[in-house]
Structure 1
Amino acid sequence: MDGTKKLDVTGNVNNDASDTPKATYKPLSEADIEGQAVSKNKEADGADEKMLPRDTEVLNSNVDHSEVKVALNEKQNGDAKLNIDVKNIFGGMDKEELMKYANDPFWVRLRWFLFILFWLLWAAMLVGAILIIYAAPKCNPPPPRTWWQEGPLTEIEPNTSPDEIILLDKNIKAFIVSWLDDDAYADLNESHDVIKLIERAKGSDVRAIVELDPATSNVWFEKSKDKNDTLNDYYIWRPPKMTTNGDLLAPNNWQPVILDVLGNKKRILLLPLGRPHLNFRNENVTNAFSDVIAKFLDQGAAGISIKNAPLLLVDTKFEDETIGSNPGFNHQQYGFYTHTKTENLPELGTLLKQWRRVVKNKTTDGLFMISDEMQNADVFKVNNTFVVDLPVKAQVFSRANASVSELVNTLNHTFNIDHIEWPLWKAKSTAYPKDVLDIVTYLLPGVPLVNSSDVVNTQLLKMRQSPSVMRGICSIHGIHNNTVLSFIRVTSGNPGVLVALNGQNETVTVDFPKEIPALDSLTEVTVQLYSTNFVEADFMSINAKKDATAVRISPKSAIVLSYVPKKKE
């Protein structure tokens, strides 16, 4: 900077035009000079290192550091004095000392005691583990099927000779015999044909099931007509309607009815079955039939079948029936109405449950069933549980021209909609040979009802008794464009059973893995059984293994195959 003057540190003007700084100094005091001298002496003799060791240093010695004491002496330039009191530390016994105690009786006994104790404890734990495994609760196997679930069952006429019982096939578990020709509420006649049949069954392997009709009786009718106070409500009496002309009319459109005139009192007797109908809203009537059931069970009956069960209760308001949609009937005929007021009333399940309890209490494995096919399965349930055993299924295999699609739909409705697990199959259809229907009804869930003269196919019965049929799931399919009815029965750990019925009048070839999703990985099947009209020579060798993708089935015939199920099934 030209022409610029600066002051130096002494306060004098610096006339030098350059910016170069000049060296300056500050005089040191005498105290500072002495301090630096002392510092140099300490660095020279290494006193700092000896006096002040680093905090991270650790003395590596065998002495007990708790006995190391540090004494500071400020008068001697900060020197420290260490006072170390060395003590002996225990290092264990040497070999000679150990050998001295090795044979000492006390230690010998102690070693043997611990040795024996160890093995005793080990053995105790082993035994305990075995006992725990043995005593642990096991998975209960499913209860065995009862005699009426095993089947088959048959029906016989009431006038059958007791000696004919021994002529029944030995594989038939029970026969159903009707008491419908006689009043069930009347006193039993020990010489009655049905009583003789029951007695004969008690001494054989076959059991007797008695069919009773609780709905009607004449036992109390005459006294009820006489206005007996006790029996007045045993039947369904209603006051009549009267026209303006004084004519008497029925109180509703129920059919049929009877007008009863006693003095000046007029009543209408309602007869849903054409006979005096008992009033099961009356507890005395309900209990009276409980006594009837007990009476037959005491005679030796193994089960009870109820006839006309849907008609036992009627509407308490006695309202008119609505007109149905069935053609060909007039207003005076039964089929003209829907009968929602006189059939399948919601309280029916509760009524039947009371009678079921009588059967179950008086027998160990007695059967309680109804003879009629259920039109409304829900009314025969209490808390979503059926109160009857072996619900009858007759229509599905009794149609003259039942198609495969109808069979599939009805069977799926039975098992999946009505939730009937074990029905009684009545197969009377003429659309298929009898042995074809036998194959289907024996291997479906349920019990077949056979003719009393039938000889049971032992090979078919053996298939029926397999775990897959007795306990397995059932899957029903309409395959090959709904021309073949097929179903599989399978349970874990057992071979599956595959049944196929050809509803066509011509031979068909079925690819089961393609048609049934559960069998999509199936490669081969084993022939087990076929109907008498099955004529495919390549599949007539029992136990022969065949290609599952090309199974030929003759017209209107059935074949039974077995297979090895996959895990996903």
Structure 2
Amino acid sequence: MSKSGVYLVSSTPVDADRGTKPGYNSTSVDAHKRNHQVYDNSVFTNSEEKATYSEANGIVLEFEKVRPSKPYRGMGKEDLLYFSSQPFWRRLRMICVAIVLIGWVALIITVAALVLAYPRCREAPSRSWWQAEAVYRVYVPSFKDSNGDGIGDLKGIESKLDYIKDQGFGVISLSPIYATADTESNPTFDDFRAGNDLAVTDHKAVGGVYGTLGDIDSLVAAVHDRGMYLVLDFIPGVTGTTHAWFSESRNNGSERRNFYVWAGKASDADPPNNWVGNVLHYVWAGKASDADPPNNWKSHFGIPAWTKDSIRQQFYLHQFASDTPDLNLRSAAVREELEDILTFWLDRDIDGFNIRDPGFIFEDFDLRNNTVKPGITSPGNAYTDYQPIHTSGQPEVYGLLEEWRMMLRAHNKTATEKVLLTNVDGALDISRIYSFCDRSGVQMPLNTGFLTTTSCNGACVTKLVSDWMGKTPSGKWATWMGGDNYDRIFTTFNASYVEAFMTLSFLLPGTPVLYYGDEIGAQNIGSGSAMTAARNGTSRGIMTWNANSTQDGFCDNCTNIWTSVMSRAEQQRGPTSDYIKELVTLRRKVSFKSGEYSRALVDDDVFSFVREVDGEPGYLVAINFGPNKVSRDFIGSHDTISPEGVIAMTRGTAYSVDDKVNPAKLEIEAYGAVVVSWDYVAKEL
């Protein structure tokens, strides 16, 4: 058979048993063609080929793959895998993977750092109940009579709890309710009018005219059922002369002989005991032979502060009335008795105490004379003729206040924190009252600055606020009082000014304290010495409940009451009580309850400030304490005040709630107030 075609002849012998080895490809011609491209009947290959011929198999092609020396465009899978397995490309791949992983880690770290570093919305600080609630101060005899005897009592207060709560108050502070010589079961009105609620005869008993221990327990339960709190007055510095302690102390041989501050030279031949040395330095024993008081100390009531006792024949100290002798708080036995009294009331679930007159509970150890004030050439019995450097503000006060605070904390049997309030009369250092020796003192010293002034414009308000805020240590709490044993605020100022003051006291950081009746514009009552002397009965008028009923609703089926019904200020723009409710509602916003305080624009008429907290709307409170209408630009007075504001509350302006305003031009009438809010804007880095 003839053969024709192309013959491939190898000049190199081929081993028949070579077969297929690694790196070689042995195929038939057909397989060979499938692995090559054919153009113009020519076969092009990138392999070195060898051919053999045998009778059995015919032509057999063997070829060895020849690898390119470097990668090329369009390489096949086999070459791609070959080159990709080379060390260089493996290292390159690892480097690229490492770069990607490092990039991801760096990105995550960067994002986390930005989240941590970027200003976040801080959680608003939590507030205790005595910080979150407003305080309603009640003078018990004048509030509400339940039994027709003409004197207010505990059951009367219990009957009006819903009224107090509806006004927006969560804390009730009661005037003294303890047994005194003038609170027996059936005192005459004349005795009661002349009475002194500091002349306590039993700190663990309720005065008969006020009710019983059962009545106070019932009142406490009713207060707590409404989610409210009850605070009692605590009188640690004095008792009445009819107190059992004083009766015993008049006897030199009694264990309680040193319960009060006695002075005078002893004339007895024998000492009262076997003590050696200068014990209780100023406490003398024996019958006194001195005819004159031991020093020049004067009572707050314009009489000498010393009275000679007819039985003991020594002088006892009384910085107030002669029927309220001063306790000797340097005596450990006296302090133990006082702690026992606090424990007694804590066991009855009282929520706290208002400590009365702590500035006068200690006096100079050596009984040194007080200094006459400069300019007084002929000092008399007037308390104001002297500088009471030895009868007030003694350093021992602060430590004792802290002891009581720690005692309340240790005794607390519930989750409710117990609170201590106190007035700051008596040359006390306010910052030391709050915290002494880096420990916790009284939570709420009471600020009476506004109650001792008769005229106060914007500049005056700025000073009063700045002085108190400056004396309040960081992290401590302020208070703003509207009344108590002072002239009624509606007697001192007109109704519009009082509402401006209330705007200030309810919206500043701190707790507002309102005196009963101020929500309806109560004014002073009476005249003459019985009502204007130290008892300060002018501010204690009978509460008006219903002006069209007998005794204005103070009592049912009674013909006489112990004092006069309060007069009321004319309300030109609606009841003040409605405005107080608005203020209480606004005060519960997070920015007012927990926000920061920053003073904004102030001048001779205007006092303004900003309240704000992260994540909540900001507020500008602008009050005109001047007698004329003003227009002011508040933009720039604080860096967060927005030009796009909304009226949140207004009094004495042409604006209405929800009006859009620009704080660049706010108009406020005389003694008016406006509160502008704006949305929170996150601070940029």
TM-score range, shorter chain: 0.5 to 0.7
1:208 is aligned, of 218, 230, 235, to: 230
Q: CA deviation at 1:414?
A: 0.9
SS in structure 2 opposite 1:248? coil
Cα distance in structure 2, aligned partners of 1:458 and 1:260:
53
2:504 maps to what in 1? 440
Contact 1:202 1:300 in 2 (8 A): no
- When the two chains are superposed, the root-mean-square deviation of aligned CA atoms in Å is 3.5
Instruction: Give how far 1:465 is off.
Output: 1.7
State the partner residue of 2:604. Answer: 482
TM superposition shift of 1:360: 2.1
Contact 1:241/1:251 (<8 A) preserved: no
Cα 1:298–1:268 change in 2 (3 A) is: same
Task: Provide Cα deviations, 1:466-487, integer angstroms capped at 9, x if missing partner.
Answer: 22212222122453x4211111
Partner of 1:550: 665
Structure 2 counterpart of 1:405, which letter?
Answer: A
Within the candidate set 486, 503, 514, 2:625 is matched to: 503
* Contact kept in structure 2, 1:211 and 1:371, CA below 8 Å: no
Give 1:513-552 correspondences, 5 Å limit: 513-514=635-636, 516-518=637-639, 522-531=642-651, 533-534=652-653, 536=654, 539-540=655-656, 542-552=657-667
1:127-526 matches, cutoff 5 A: 141=123, 144-158=126-140, 159-160=152-153, 161=156, 162-170=158-166, 171-179=168-176, 182=179, 183=200, 185-188=202-205, 191-192=212-213, 194=216, 196-217=218-239, 218-240=243-265, 248-255=291-298, 256-260=305-309, 266-274=313-321, 275-325=324-374, 330-363=379-412, 364-372=416-424, 375=427, 376-380=429-433, 381-383=435-437, 387-396=441-450, 399-419=453-473, 421-427=476-482, 428=489, 430-431=493-494, 432-452=496-516, 454=519, 455=577, 457-477=580-600, 479=602, 481-514=603-636, 516-518=637-639, 522-526=642-646
Shift in CA distance, 487/234, structure 1 to aligned 2, threshold 3 Å = same
Structure 1 contact 154–452 (Cα < 8 Å) conserved: yes
In structure 2, C-alpha distance between the alignment counterparts of 1:206 and 1:328, rounded to whole Å: 53
Q: Per-residue displacement from partner, 1:376-406 (whole Å, max 9, x unpaired)? A: 3144231255511222112226633112111
In structure 2, how many angstroms separate the alpha carbons of the residues matched to 1:358 and 1:139? 37
- 8 A contact 2:264–2:290 mirrored in 1: no
Per-residue CA deviation, residues 111-152 of structure 1 (Å, 9 max, x unaligned), is: xxxxxxxxxxxxxxxxxxxxxxxxxxx999555212211111
Instruction: Report if aligned partners of 1:201, 1:207 keep a CA contact under 8 Å in 2.
Output: yes
1:169 to 1:175, Cα distance in 2 relative to 1, 3 A: same
Of stretches 466-475 and 305-314 in structure 1, the one that deviates more from structure 2 is 466-475
Separation in 2, partners of 1:184, 1:490: 49
Q: Would you say the 8 A contact 2:231–2:350 is kept in 1?
A: yes
Amino acid paired to 1:471: S
Aligned residue type for 1:460: L
Q: In structure 1, how many angstroms separate the alpha carbons of the residues matched to 2:122 and 2:635?
A: 35
Cα gap change, 1:146 to 1:409, in 2 (>3 Å): same
Which residue identity does 1:145 align to in structure 2? R
1:235–1:247 distance in 2 versus 1, CA, 3 Å:
closer
C-alpha distance in 2 between matches for 1:546 and 1:268? 68
Preserved contact between residue 390 and residue 446 of structure 1 (Cα < 8 Å): no
Following the alignment from structure 1 to structure 2, what is the Cα–Cα distance between the partners of residues 462 and 173? 12
Task: Report the secondary structure of 1:383's partner residue.
Answer: coil
Distance in 2 (CA, whole Å) between partners of 1:141 and 1:329 is: 61
By how many angstroms is 1:365 displaced? 1.2
Paired residues, what number?
A: 427
Name 1:107's counterpart in structure 2. Answer: none
- Following TM superposition, by how much is the alpha carbon of 1:433 offset from its aligned partner in structure 2, in angstroms? 3.9
Unaligned runs of 5+ in 1: 1-94, 99-137
For residues 229-266 of structure 1, what are the alpha-carbon distances to aligned partners after superposition, in whole Å with 9 as ceiling and x for unaligned?
52122111122499xxx85222211121022365xx85
CA contact (8 A) 1:315 1:342 kept: yes
Which residue is 2:88 aligned to?
A: none
Report the Cα offset of residue 181 of structure 1: 5.4
Residues 403-460 of structure 1 show CA distances to partners (whole Å, capped at 9, x for unaligned) of: 2111101111111234384222112351544433222211101111235464464543
Q: Is the alpha carbon distance of 1:234 and 1:140 closer, same or farther for their aligned partners in structure 2, counting shifts above 3 Å?
A: farther
Shift in alpha-carbon separation, 1:422–1:444, aligned structure 2, 3 A: same
Distance 1:156 1:417 in 2: 27
Question: 2:165 corresponds to which letter in structure 1?
Answer: D
Percent sequence identity over aligned pairs = 19
Whole-angstrom distance in 2 between the partners of 1:368 and 1:305: 6
Is the 2:359–2:397 contact (alpha carbons within 8 Å) kept by the matching residues of 1? yes
Counterpart contact for 1:445–1:474, Cα < 8 Å: yes
Distance 2:257 2:122 in 1: 53
Q: How far, CA to CA, are the matches of 1:465 and 1:203 in structure 2? A: 21
Residue 60 (structure 1) aligns with: none
Note if contact 1:378-1:384 (Cα within 8 Å) is conserved in structure 2: no
Q: Is the 8 A contact 1:240 1:250 kept in 2?
A: no
Whole-angstrom distance in 2 between the partners of 1:143 and 1:368: 21
Counterparts of 1:416 and 1:334 in 2: how far apart (Å)? 29
* C-alpha separation in 2, matches of 1:266 and 1:398: 40
Structure 2: runs of 5 or more not aligned: 1-77, 82-119, 141-151, 180-199, 268-288, 299-304, 483-488, 520-576
Pair member with larger Rg? 1
The separation in 1 between residues aligned to 2:679 and 2:177, in whole angstroms, is 49
Does the residue aligned with 2:205 lie in a helix, a strand or coil? Answer: coil
The residue identity in structure 2 corresponding to 1:401 is S
Whether the 8 Å contact between 1:186 and 1:219 is mirrored in structure 2 is no
**TM value normalised by structure 2:** 0.57
